[in-house]
Amino acid sequence: MEQAKINYGEVLHSWIVPEYVEHERSRLWYIIASVVGFVLIIYSFFSANFLFAVIIIVGTLIIIIHDGQKPARVKVAVTDEGVVIGRAFYDYNGLKNFAIVEKKNENIKNLYFEFKSALRQRLSIPLDGIEINDIKTTLSKHLPLDKERTDIPVSEQLSRLLKL
């Protein structure tokens, strides 16, 4: 049986992105991560914090399982009613603003959406092969542009640095 297609409005722009950033990790990265993980587990036992040990072990298992997979390709669409990422739809009414950060020397070209709800995590979408001015013009009709964001968020910088 065919799934019913949901209409999220007229598609103004669409492109395909990887589901997550895939990092190249060297053998040294794995050695350092193993040593840090082992030290944290030892510390958790000495401090009688067994839940911390479980969290470290689960986190390690997630990284190992995740590392063996290639990121899925996800369709992103900017419509006249909101933004569609894969199967998720984000209505413009739930979004606070958008920002575009481009750093050519660091190979960064991302679109960011902030939610009105402080409990929701910011959306980060690569703009590979997309004309920035076209996206900016389209989104400016629906959302304010955050002109103060000129760099990628600290959480994303840490993720890049630690290759997580």
Domain positions in the chain are 11-19+73-148, 27-67
What is the SS3 assignment for 20?
coil
pLDDT for the residue numbered 125: 92
pLDDT for the residue numbered 22: 76
For the chain (length 164 residues), average pLDDT per consecutive 10? 64 88 82 91 92 92 82 90 91 92 83 90 87 90 88 79 75
Amino acid at 90: Y
pLDDT for the residue numbered 48: 92
CA 15 to chain centre: 16
pLDDT for the residue numbered 29: 87
Strand partners, 73: 18
The CATH number fitting domain 11-19+73-148, selected from 2.30.29, 2.60.120, 1.10.10, 1.10.357 = 2.30.29
Query: Virtual CA dihedral for 22, 26, 32, 33, nearest 10 degrees?
Result: 30
pLDDT for the residue numbered 23: 75
